[in-house]
Every structure is written in structure tokens, then in C-alpha cells.
Amino acid sequence: MVDVKLENIVKTFDGTTALKGISLHIKHKELFTLLGPSGCGKSTTLRIIAGLDYPDSGHIYFGDEEVTYLPSYQRGAVLVFQNYALWPHMTVFDNVAYGLKIRKVPKEEIKRKVEWALELVKLKGFENRYPTQLSGGQQQRVAIARALVVEPKVLLLDEPLSNLDAKLRLEMRSEIRRIQRELGITVIYVTHDQEEAMAISDRIAVMNVGTVEQVGTPRDIYERPKTEFVASFMGKTNVIPAKVVERNGDKVTVEFESFRLDGLHYTEKSDNVVLVIRPERIKFRPGENTVSLEGTVDLIEYYGFFTEVVGLFGETRIIARAISDKEIANLRPTQPVTFYIDRDDIIVLPKQNL
């Protein structure tokens, strides 16, 4: 059982606080993703788990064992570096065999295990090449094989796909998922691509300047964002500033521009809120529990498998996404339009200073 626990990790670099007290609990055999914009502290978190940096305060546990200051080479949390860090003076075989040699594994077994690892990443036959003779995707797979072959307690992947082209990225994404399932290991994955995070993860932690904003399953995070930051980070969405004007138990009425929307779920204190509405949730026909917004069509953009209608409501632009052309066949720019939104699809969140 290797679950990884971080408790209140703080890390400062020359005066700037990179991590402001992070706590996470990553379960055994889980593929856990750290997601967040550039500079939010993802790599720092990963390096601290790997033992390549030490936190200023806080604790790290692998299972019940505290490993906060255990040197990297005794920790067994193996990192696949963003730049792969393959050793240019060693062949693919020697790169992969390195960790085994350190562990004094007998020669025969090293051979067997390296073969197994290279097969796993589909690189059999490349043993004698040098890293410079490989493509980016192949190098990345060598880096993964090098980490896997030592049977790490935890595999740490730092933006492993960021240097690959789109097609290879999709391929490698499912490869990583397959390998993780096959070997049943705990994987912590870092990315700033929300789509990648959604596709690959069991759970996601969304990070923002040194803090964790939300932890949850991809569906949770996409559909029930807990903060404005998470909502706006998870794909194209409408974030509309509004004011709470009336409260009634856990229901509120909010106002933006000249519109009043009632019966929305909201329990937080702040009256300054944002309304988060996913474009694909907006309909052009009334439903049972819908609110309606009347405005004019500003723009219609055709994307192939869907079409976006940008409506203008006072000064506010709201994007709706239509899958079938029928619904919107009559819409023309500058003509009036009504958006219908189910009350359950309007997420009211306190306004953040982003």
C-alpha cells in the first residue's frame, strides 16, 4: 500500500513562496493529476515528493512512513523529468538498466527486466541506440521505461507529453493510462492542459499560485467547480459577475445588467458572485426549471461538430453551444434571441480576485 500524503507543505525560493501550505492525499494505485497554470507550483510539488527538493515546513508520508527529509535515492518515488534527462553518453539499454545496476540486480535479471520495460513502452530493438538517435516520443518512452523498470512505489510524471505533437500526445496518453492500470502503480501526473487531465486522471487537484483550489474527479471538477478559478480554468466557459439581491434559505436571487435570476443555489456569505454557465448547457427552448435571458445575436461561429452563438445581453456577452443546426437555423446576427438555462446548470460562486 503506497498512498502519498502531503501535509501543509510550504516552500519558498529567495523570498517568493512557491507553495503556500499544500495538503493532498493520493491513494494507492491512483492516477492523480496536478493541474494548473504555468508557475503555480506543480513541478515544485513533484520535486518535493521525489526528494529532489526539501520543503521549508510540512510533512510527507508514504503510507505510514514519514519521508520528508529522506534523500531522493532512498525514497523510491521516481520522477520522469519534463526534459526526459536521458544520459547522452549511455545507450537506451544502459539508461534503462542504470537503476537496476545501482540496486545490484544480477546481470541476467537486468537483461530480462530491461527487455520487459522496453517491450512495455514498445521500444524493443532500440537497445543499442543513443538518446540523440531517437525521436522525441521515443525518448520520452525510454524515460518512462527507465523509471518503471525499478518498480517505483510512486511514479511521478512532469508534463511528460508537452514536447510531443498532437497525434503522439493522444497515443502516449492512453499508453500511460494502460501501463498504469497494467502495473497497478500510483502515478502522480503534472500537466497544465485541462483536457489531458480530464482524459487521463482518476482524480485531479487544481492548483493556483501555490495553493490547491479543488480536488476531485474530472467530472466533479468540470461540473461542480468550487471556485471561480477552477471554473474558468476548466475549458471555455461563461463567467458572469453578478450581485446577490435576495436570500431565501439556500436559494438566492441574483442580478446582473438588468436581469434578475431567482431560485439559484448559493450558501456562501459574499454578495459579490459570479455565475458560471457552461456553453453547452444553454438551450434555445424553455424547460421545466429554466430561467430565460433575452438579448440579441452578436456572432455565430461554426466549428464543425458544434456551432457557437454569442449573445449580447446588455454589455455582457454569453456563449452558447449548439450541437444540432436545427435549433439555431433561424438565428441571424443582430436579431433577437432568448437563452434558456436550467437553474441547476447555473453555478453561483463567490467572486475571487484573480
Footprint of ligand ATP on this chain (CB under 6 A)? 13-14, 16, 18, 36, 38-44, 192
Name the minimum Å distance from CB 189 to ligand ATP: 12
> Computed from CA positions of residues 151, 156, 158, 164, in that sequence, does the dihedral angle turn out positive or negative?
positive
Residue 210: CB minimum distance to ligand ATP, A: 7
**Residue with Cβ nearer ligand ATP (13 or 87):** 13
**What residue 113 binds from another protein, Mg ion, ligand ATP, none (CB within 5 to 8 A, per partner kind)?**
none
CB of 167 to ligand ATP, least distance (A): 22
- Answer for the pair 186, 3: CB distance below 8 angstroms, yes or no: yes
We find the least distance from the C-beta atom of residue 81 to ligand ATP, in angstroms, to be 11
Kindly list the residues in this chain that would bind Mg ion in the complex (CB under 5 A). Answer: 43
d(C-alpha 252, C-alpha 266), whole Å: 6
What is the maximal distance between C-alpha atoms in the chain?
77
C-alpha cell at 59: 510533512
Strands 57-62 and 251-256 come out as unpaired
Choices 26-34, 77-85, 281-289, 296-304 (CB under 8 A): range interacting with another protein: 77-85
Percent helix, percent strand, percent coil in the chain, to nearest 5 = 30, 35, 35
Answer for the pair 120, 147: CB distance below 8 angstroms, yes or no.
no
Least separation in angstroms between CB 138 and another protein? 17
Given 19, 50, 161, 230, the residue binding another protein (CB under 8 A): 50
**Grid coordinates belonging to 94:** 544502459
Distance CA 312, CA 240 (A): 12
| DSSP three-state, residue 283 | strand
Residue 299: closest CA among 283, 282, 324, 317: 317
Name which position in 3, 54, 115, 129 contacts another protein (CB under 8 A): 54
Residue placing its CB nearer to another protein in the complex, 187 or 347: 187
Query: Cβ 73 to another protein, closest distance in Å?
Result: 5
Residue 11 C-beta: closest distance to ligand ATP, Å: 8
Containing H/E element for 198? helix 194-200
By C-beta, is 71 or 286 nearer to another protein?
A: 71
Q: Which does 50 bind (CB under 5 to 8 A by kind): Mg ion, ligand ATP, another protein, none?
A: another protein
Q: Give the one entry of another protein, Mg ion, ligand ATP, none that residue 78 binds, where binding means its C-beta sits below a cut-off of 5 to 8 angstroms depending on kind.
A: another protein
Provide the grid cell at 197: 487531465
Q: How far apart are CA 281 and CA 320, in angstroms?
A: 8
Q: Decide whether 91 or 162 has the Cβ nearer to Mg ion.
A: 162
C-alpha dihedral sign at 109, 103, 45, 83:
negative
Using CB under 8 A, which residues numbered 217 to 246 contact another protein? Answer: none
Q: Which does 44 bind (CB under 5 to 8 A by kind): ligand ATP, Mg ion, another protein, none?
A: ligand ATP
Q: Is the Cβ–Cβ distance between 221 and 204 less than 8 Å?
A: yes
**Which stretches of the chain bind another protein, using CB under 8 A?**
14, 50-52, 54, 69-74, 76-79, 81, 83, 85, 87-89, 98-99, 102-103, 146-147, 150
